[in-house]
Amino acid sequence: MNRKQKIMLLRIILAAVLMALLHFIPSSGILRFILYLVPYLIVGYDILRKAVRGIIRGQVFDECFLMAVATVGAIALALYEKSSDYTEAIAVMLFYQIGELFQSYAVGKSRKNITELMDIRPDYANIERDGGLEKIDPDDVSIGSIIVVQPGEKVPIDGIVTEGSSSLNTSALTGESMPRNIETGDEIISGSINMTGVLKIRTTKEFGESTVSKILDLVENASSRKSKSEDFISKFARVYTPAVCIGALLLALLPPFISIVMGSPAGWETWIYRALTFLVISCPCALVISIPLSFFAGIGGASKAGILVKGSNYLETLSKTKTVVFDKTGTLTKGVFEVNGIHHGRIPDAAIIEYAALAESASSHPIARSLIDEYGKPIERDRVKNIREISGSGIIAEVDGHVTACGNDKLMRTLGIEYIPCHSTGTIIHVALDGEYTGHIVISDTVKPHAAEAVKALRNSGIRNIVMLTGDDAKVAERVASSLKIDTVYSNLLPSDKVSKVEELLGSEGKSKLAFVGDGINDAPVLSRADIGIAMGAMGSDAAIEAADVVLMDDDPMKIPKAINISRKCLKIVYENIVFAIGIKILCLILGAMGIANMWLAIFADVGVMIIAVLNAIRALFVRKL
């Protein structure tokens, strides 16, 4: 509890004790009124002040206004009736404040919970200086510096390990509890915790551009993107409060007026009391607080599982997803190709690999990485010039002065180079030098271990349509699709074809939503075109973090059904709260208008509904292990 909350608690206790004492002290008349005014003001003075301020500012209709009018009205009525029963007004204020205190405590608690989950912000970076370690602000570390990370410390900045080996705990980022081993030469991503060995890291990014900063930005901004349900609630509150005020006014005036016309006694007291009760009942706090809190908790729970959702609107859309479209390479497959063979070589095999690897040296495509690995020697960048990457086709570059073309059938056809088609299954990379065909490299990729399971889990949770798109050729595509039991496949697509395919599928969707899952390499346009773009394995890939709406921190396909289940659970909680809160409200309003509910019941209903709704909202924070 913070200081403000403690003071509130003290005020509540003090007022309650005073009220109980006054109950046993006989008093009457004006003295009694003044005595009772003390606990009332102790517990409610800030509400009265806010109500007056609201009226002055012209923003009349808020909860404070409702509470102020209802309680002041009840006191005035007691004075007028000479009943001297002021406890009701004090109790209403008291319970309202208990509700407010609980709510601020719950919100603070869940916020703290989420920031704890996202406790990846590094406070310092160690730099070696004069034989010792110096702690400096990560913001002040320039690219290419050597930093030292000791066991138990967070990796502050992205980089490459230059010395040491260790295992990393990435659970705060990915939700994955298995430690990840890392050694000299590996890329290392900020936000993970170094567990066993001392690591020296050459930084490749500034702190502000490092993964950890990007992720924190993303999480912190998530609550600013509002969902339709939240919009609905704030619009609802805007019309609702004035509506109930008018309702209360009518309730106070109309029946007595009718009675007078009919010639019977007006019964002002009864109807004014009912109108005041009506005001207390109508307070919309449960809704106003629990809906955003549910989304907040849902986003927090998801990030605990390594699923970053950029806003509650995306959580809402995700829950309505009925079609999931996958990219193949790097999403369903590992994207780590192995060279299976080199066919029809017109120059030595080693030379073909060398040209290919050099031409690919600047590409981030998984194919490029695999060819560079196969080559195995350091890349001499000055041998390569004029690199042109043709997305979805391949690469053209000058290597040692020879124009090297390296890519699929499509690339060869556009360049007018006669190629020898390959009959083995695998991704075929043709290589040509100065327009002359020199042979092709057959590479193959393996399906990710959880891919088939993920497809099955998606089917089980009611995803009607599962589609795979790929720029690879039909044979490879068919093989992957049949091993995963995906029935709709489109192959030989350029990145722009993928966009039009997704648009086509979007057109046939109707009201349900389409999610596209990619790895962020050359599929950013599709990620942003789909209703929901999900980037996987995004740790360290800026493009993916930027383009996607949902970012999966590791590349496990099981995260997709999990993300959908989390979103559905969260939305279910949101709807439960909306229905529950509005339902109870309407019931109490009717009872209040009929004179069955008094102010006591009204305030219990209001605070009770709010507490239940908030507890329900917090459920969204807890994600079952899948």
Task: Write down the least CB distance from residue 514 to Mg ion, Å.
Answer: 18
Q: Using the rule CB under 6 A, which residue among 68, 125, 429, 607 binds ligand ADP?
A: 429
**Which structure tokens are listed for 299?**
């986003």
Coil, strand or helix at 151: coil
Residue 363 lies near ligand ADP (rule: CB under 6 A): yes
Q: Can 327 be counted among the known catalytic residues?
A: yes
For Mg ion, the closer of residues 330 and 592 by Cβ is: 330
Judged by CB under 6 A, does residue 394 bind ligand ADP?
yes
**Pairwise CA distance, residues 616 & 626, whole Å:** 21
Q: Which of 316, 562, 321 is nearest to 464 (CA)?
A: 321
In one letter, which amino acid is 536? M
Q: Which tokens belong to 92?
A: 């209403």
State the CB neighbour count (10 A cutoff) for residue 298: 30
**For ligand ADP, which stretch binds (CB under 6 A), given 17-25, 252-260, 392-400, 458-466?**
392-400
- Residue 32's region, left for phi above 0, alpha for psi from -120 to 50, else beta, is alpha
Taking a C-beta distance cutoff of 8 angstroms, is the pair 272, 327 a contact? no
The three-class DSSP label of residue 383 is helix
Tell the residue number behind the tokens 């969902």, with chain if given.
227
Residues facing 516 on adjacent strands: 325, 533
Closest CB 356 distance from Mg ion, rounded Å: 19
Interface residue with Mg ion among 190, 203, 241, 329 (CB under 5 A) is: 329
Looking at the Cβ atoms of 109 and 388, the one nearer to ligand ADP is 388
- Is the CA virtual torsion 547, 549, 554, 559 positive or negative? negative
Catalytic residue among 46, 186, 327, 523: 327
The single residue among 360, 549, 555, 556 that binds ligand ADP, judged by CB under 6 A, is: 360
Question: Smallest gap, in angstroms, from Cβ of residue 399 to Mg ion?
Answer: 24
Given candidates 393, 404, 567, 616, which one binds ligand ADP under the rule CB under 6 A?
Answer: 393
Asked if residues 477 and 470 have their Cβ atoms less than 8 Å apart, the reply is: yes
The answer to whether 106 and 293 have CB atoms below 8 angstroms apart is yes
316 binds, among Mg ion, ligand ADP, none (CB under 5 to 8 A by kind): none
Number of residues forming the site for ligand ADP (CB under 6 A): 23
In the complex, what is the shortest distance from the CB of residue 356 to ligand ADP, in angstroms, rounded to a whole number? 8
Is there binding between residue 529 and ligand ADP (CB under 6 A)? Answer: no
Contact stretch for ligand ADP (CB under 6 A) within 129-137, 205-213, 362-370, 435-443: 362-370
Output the furthest CA–CA distance in the chain (Å, rounded). 113
The binder of 427, among ligand ADP, Mg ion, none, by C-beta within 5 to 8 A per type, is ligand ADP
Q: Is 470 in the site for ligand ADP (CB under 6 A)?
A: yes
Q: Are 129 and 146 a contacting pair, CB within 8 Å?
A: no
Q: Is residue 571 near ligand ADP by the rule CB under 6 A?
A: no
Applying CB under 5 A, which part among 5-13, 322-330, 472-480, 560-568 lies near Mg ion? 322-330
How near is the Cβ of 472 to ligand ADP at its closest, in Å? 4
- Residue 110 contacts ligand ADP per CB under 6 A: no
> By C-beta, is 472 or 549 nearer to Mg ion?
472
403 bridge partner residues: 398
- Runs of H (alpha helix) within 283-348: 285-304, 312-319
Angstrom CA distances, 283 to 245, 276, 287, 582, 605, stand at 10, 11, 9, 11, 10
285-304 and 312-319 helices cross at what angle (nearest 10)?
Answer: 80
Alpha-carbon gap, residue 368 to 357, rounded angstroms: 7
Burial of 528 (0-12, 13-18, 19+ CB in 10 A): middle
**550-552 and 532-535 strand pairing:** parallel
Residue 533: enclosing H or E segment and its boundaries? strand 532-535
Draw the binding track, 475-514, toward ligand ADP (x: CB under 6 A; -: no contact). Answer: --------------------x-------------------
Sign of the CA dihedral running 13, 19, 25, 28:
positive
Q: Is 327 in the site for ligand ADP (CB under 6 A)?
A: yes
Which is it for strands 488-490 and 465-469: parallel, antiparallel or unpaired?
A: parallel
Stretch that binds ligand ADP, among 95-103, 209-217, 403-411, 504-512 (CB under 6 A): 403-411
Task: In whole angstroms, give the CA distance from residue 563 to residue 175.
Answer: 12
d(Cα 167, Cα 195) in Å, to the nearest integer?
6
> Smallest gap, in angstroms, from Cβ of residue 222 to ligand ADP?
28
The item of ligand ADP, Mg ion, none sharing an interface with residue 365, based on CB under 5 to 8 Å by kind, is: ligand ADP
Q: Please report whether residue 392 would count as binding ligand ADP according to CB under 6 A.
A: yes
Q: Which residues does 252 contact at the CB level (< 8 Å), separation at least 6?
A: 271, 272, 274, 275
Q: Which two tokens stand for residue 513?
A: 């939503």
Contact (CB, 8 A) for 371 and 363: no
Q: Shortest Cβ distance from residue 389 to Mg ion (Å)?
A: 13
The count of residues interacting with Mg ion (CB under 5 A) is: 2
With binding defined as CB under 6 A, does residue 361 bind ligand ADP?
A: no
Measured from the CB atom, is 301 or 520 closer to ligand ADP? 520
**Is residue 604 within a helix (H) or strand (E), and if so which, with residue range?**
helix 599-618
Determine the interface stretch with ligand ADP among 9-17, 72-80, 104-112, 365-373 (rule: CB under 6 A): 365-373
Residue 427 in contact with ligand ADP, rule: CB under 6 A: yes
If one asks whether residue 408 binds ligand ADP (CB under 6 A), the answer comes out as yes
Pick what 394 binds: Mg ion, ligand ADP, none; C-beta below 5 to 8 Å, kind-dependent.
ligand ADP
Cβ within 8 Å of residue 545, ≥6 positions away: 214, 215, 218, 520, 535, 538, 551
Question: Among residues 455 and 468, whose Cβ is nearest to Mg ion?
Answer: 468
Does 581 participate in binding ligand ADP (rule CB under 6 A)?
Answer: no
Is 290 a residue that touches Mg ion (CB under 5 A)?
no
> Does residue 339 interact with ligand ADP by CB under 6 A?
no
> Segment contacting Mg ion (CB under 5 A): 102-110, 327-335, 443-451, 460-468?
327-335
Return the number of the residue (84 or 391) whose C-beta is nearest Mg ion: 391
Q: Which range, of 129-137, 197-205, 216-224, 321-329, touches Mg ion by CB under 5 A?
A: 321-329
Instruction: State the amino acid at position 189 in one-letter form.
Output: I
520 near ligand ADP, rule: CB under 6 A: no
Residues that bind Mg ion (CB under 5 A): 327, 329
Q: Which residues bind ligand ADP (CB under 6 A)?
A: 327-329, 360, 363, 365, 367-368, 389, 392-395, 406-408, 427, 429, 470-472, 495, 522
Query: Which residues carry out catalysis?
Result: 327
